[in-house]
Amino acid sequence: GAVVSQHPSWVICKSGTSVKIECRSLDFQATTMFWYRQFPKQSLMLMATSNEGSKATYEQGVEKDKFLINHASLTLSTLTVTSAHPEDSSFYICSARRQAMNTEAFFGQGTRLTVV
């Protein structure tokens, strides 16, 4: 079964509204989770690292006020796209890795966001 669960799998929203995406680690406690964005036929681009109990670390060029990340528990991280615009339409994927080195990452199913 899934180790990381992401919800919703798709969402359509109107411009100006906010959308929340949830990412749950089902099999282990994840002090750190990762949020990626993927455009069609492109690779995954890391947006931010979500840290349990502290502020997220954002990659260069990612607006922290637009992409709000909350990691309130060891099993749940949320990404909220605020005041969404059509250019925010994309595929968002979260992942989690166990603490030990040389471990694989587990990915959520992804969320297809369409802003109309």
Partner 1 sequence: SQQGEEDPQALSIQEGENATMNCSYKTSINNLQWYRQNSGRGLVHLILIRSNEREKHSGRLRVTLDTSKKSSSLLITASRAADTASYFCATASGSARQLTFGSGTQLTVLP
Q: Which residues in this chain contact partner 1 in the complex, by CB under 8 A?
A: 4, 6, 32, 34, 41-46, 49, 59-60, 91, 93, 95, 97, 101-110, 112
Q: Name 95's bridge partners.
A: 34, 107
Whose Cβ is closer to partner 1: residue 59's or residue 73's? 59
Residues 6+ positions from 89 with CB-CB distance below 8 Å:
113, 114, 115
Structure tokens at 59: 């990659």
3-state secondary structure of 1: coil
Q: How far is the CB of 64 from partner 1 (least distance, A)?
A: 16
Whose Cβ is closer to partner 1: residue 87's or residue 104's? 104
Q: How far is the CB of 96 from partner 1 (least distance, A)?
A: 10
Structure tokens at 60: 């260069």
Q: How far is the CB of 101 from partner 1 (least distance, A)?
A: 6
Whose Cβ is closer to partner 1: residue 57's or residue 80's? 57
For tokens 């959308």, the residue is 19
